[in-house]
Amino acid sequence: MKIRKRKHDQEVNTGSMADIAFLLLIFFLVATTLLQEKGLDLQLPRKKEDNSTSPPIKERNLFKVMVNSRQEILIEGEYRKDLVGLRDEIKAFVLNNGKQEHLSESPKKATISLKTSRGTKYASFIQVLDELKAAYFEIYAENIGLTKKEYLKLKQSDPQQNQLYLKSKEGIPMNISIAEPTI
């Protein structure tokens, strides 16, 4: 009787336990999202009190992009259906160096203003901001003879790459200003 019982214990298949455990492991590996920190960065302006002391920006140095609550886009006072060409316009605006009357005086003074309304969808805002970033990154990448993709892969922790990175940005600050939304 005892012997038979022991035999029964041995029949439990523990070999498949490993499979089950691995299945679980793989499931959780796939299902858990780790901290993902990629995104669009932005520097917010200073507090309001400090803001009032800064001198007003000349009209020609300001490139205005507005998105209203119906997700309609107004670029430099002109209604647009989509963002086609915005990237090139910004590049021309920033790198104008005072050549054309209505564009910026210098890359340092050039400011892109992105204004939204309170009802603007976050996705529309990101879409426009992405284009603004793309324009600047393309300028930076061209400065050091890289493509935008290669530029975005530069590692600041590496001294040589950091030097390139700093060189690309020289004299061209990314002046993207987020105006407070209108109602």
Partner 1 sequence: MAHFRKKASRKTQISTSSLPDIVFLLLFFFMVSATIKPNAELLAYKVPNAENLVKPEMKFLIKELVIGFPKSQKLGVTSRISDGKRYLEIKDIAQWATAAKAELPENYKDQMIVLLKADADVDMGLIADIQEQLREVDARKVLYRTSESTTDPIQ
CB of 149 to partner 1, least distance (A): 10
* 9 lines the binding site for partner 1 (CB under 8 A): no
- Judged by CB, which is closer to partner 1: 101, or 122? 122
Amino acid (one-letter) located at 154: L
CB of 155 to partner 1, least distance (A): 8
Q: Are 127 and 65 in contact (CB under 8 A)?
A: no
Stretch touching partner 1 by CB under 8 A, among 16-24, 54-62, 90-98, 104-112: 16-24
CB-based contacts of 136, cutoff 8 Å, min separation 6: 90, 94, 172, 174, 176
d(CA 87, CA 92): 9
Could you give the strand order of the β-sheet that contains 111-117, starting from the edge strand earlier in sequence? 78-80, 73-75, 62-67, 111-117, 176-182
Stretch touching partner 1 by CB under 8 A, among 57-65, 89-97, 105-113, 120-128: 120-128
- Choosing from 98, 108, 119, 150, the residue that interacts with partner 1 (CB under 8 A) is 119
- CA pseudo-torsion sign 168, 100, 125, 31: negative
Which residues form the interface with partner 1 (CB under 8 A)?
Answer: 7, 10-11, 13-15, 17-18, 21-22, 24-25, 28-29, 32-48, 82-84, 86-87, 116-123, 125-127, 129-131, 133-134, 137, 148, 152, 155-157, 178, 180-181
